[in-house]
Amino acid sequence: MKIIRAKDYKDMSRKAANIISAQVIMKPDAVLGLATGGTPVGTYAQLVEWHKKGDIDFSGVTTINLDEYRGLPRGHKQSYWHFMQVHFFQHINIREDHIFVPDGSNLDKEEACLEYDRIIQRVGGIDLQLLGIGMDGHIGFNEPGEVFKLGTHCVTLTESTIEANMRFFHNREDVPRQAYTMGIQAIMQAGKVLMIVNGEHKAQIIQRAFAGVVTPKIPASILQLHPNFILIGDEAALSKMDM
Ligand code: F6R
């Protein structure tokens, strides 16, 4: 596990974008695993800026997003598909048929999850997986539990996650209760895992996940076992890490 300290959110975003950009330069047909949420917005903005300057070419890149709300079709304003279009895909030269997000419009859980695992296999797995972390230690929507769930699966979101995601919806009732998420296996099999985290509110979960025991009760803790795991945090988020 490599821990990189960033001065602030902007610095964290630039450092993360640098690593992603290096990956794409080294392997123009790289498979990038991507995340939504507030944390990666600055990273995407930085990548877009460099793309517009002519420094990064995404024409050969494939992206596999971590998760999607079950029941939200692509066109829905709160879908993760839409989020990715607005913050990233619309502004770069990625091919539409190289973009993968779990199919939230498919209500058949088994089929939707199997299909996503087949896609991950077909593209040959993930070269670099970008992650945020939830307040309860979730990665993707792998919520705390008794076991690590390996494949893509449907989850019922925890109260804490619904609470955290409320900010993107008009009210609590509008937050979907279920989501499809990539499982722990595809994340752990990624060539490189890059987690970004900022803010004092994440300091405690960062300490529990990366300075404590590996347990499915804190899903992110498994990343301690990944051979190429990089954590980039701002001062506040890393304030409880003793280093
Ligand atoms: C989103 C995702 C989630 C977020 C996490 C942190 O695709 O997979 O695990 O990374 O909930 O969200 P933010 O960045 O909004 O704090």
Best mutation site among 36, 72, 165, 184 for ligand 1, i.e. most ligand atoms within 8 A of its Cβ? 36
With a cut of 80, say whether residue 243 has pLDDT above it.
Answer: no
pLDDT value for 174: 87
Catalytic (active site) residue 138? yes
Choose, from 136, 153, 226, 234, the residue flagged as catalytic.
136
Task: Give the whole-number percent of the chain exceeding pLDDT 90.
Answer: 91
Catalytic (active site) residue 29? no
Whether the model clears a pTM of 0.85, i.e. scores above it, the answer is: yes
Q: pLDDT higher for 158 or 192?
A: 192
pLDDT value for 192: 98
pLDDT value for 164: 84
pLDDT value for 158: 84
Average pLDDT, the chain: 96
Mean predicted confidence (pLDDT) in 11-22: 98
pLDDT value for 105: 96
Catalytic (active site) residue 143? yes
pLDDT tier at 169 (50, 70, 90 boundaries)? confident
How is the chain split into domains, by residue range? 2-234
What's the 78 CA to ligand 1 centre distance in angstroms?
14
pLDDT value for 73: 93
With a cut of 90, say whether residue 39 has pLDDT above it.
Answer: yes
SS3 track for the chain: CEEEEECCHHHHHHHHHHHHHHHHHHCCCCEEEECCCCCCHHHHHHHHHHHHCCCCCCCCCEEEECEEECCCCCCCCCCHHHHHHHHCHHHCCCCHHHEECCCCCCCCHHHHHHHHHHHHHHCCCCCEEEECCCCCCCECCECCCCCCCCCCEEEECCHHHHHHHHHHCCCHHHCCCEEEECCHHHHHCCCEEEEEECCHHHHHHHHHHHCCCCECCEHHHHHHHCCCEEEEEECCCCCCCCC
pLDDT tier at 80 (50, 70, 90 boundaries)? very high
pLDDT tier at 159 (50, 70, 90 boundaries)? confident
What's the 133 CA to ligand 1 centre distance in angstroms?
6
Per-residue pLDDT reduced to its tens digit, 197-239: 999 999 999 999 999 999 999 999 999 999 999 999 999 999 9
Is residue 236 a contact partner of residue 200, using CB atoms and an 8 Å limit? yes
Catalytic (active site) residue 67? yes
What's the 39 CA to ligand 1 centre distance in angstroms?
7
Choose, from 138, 153, 226, 234, the residue flagged as catalytic.
138
pLDDT value for 74: 92
Task: Give the whole-number percent of the chain exceeding pLDDT 70.
Answer: 100
Mean predicted confidence (pLDDT) in 159-175: 86
pLDDT tier at 171 (50, 70, 90 boundaries)? confident
Q: Does domain 2-234 have CATH number 3.40.50.1360?
A: yes
What's the 132 CA to ligand 1 centre distance in angstroms?
5
With a cut of 90, say whether residue 50 has pLDDT above it.
Answer: yes
Per-residue pLDDT reduced to its tens digit, 179-190: 999 999 999 999
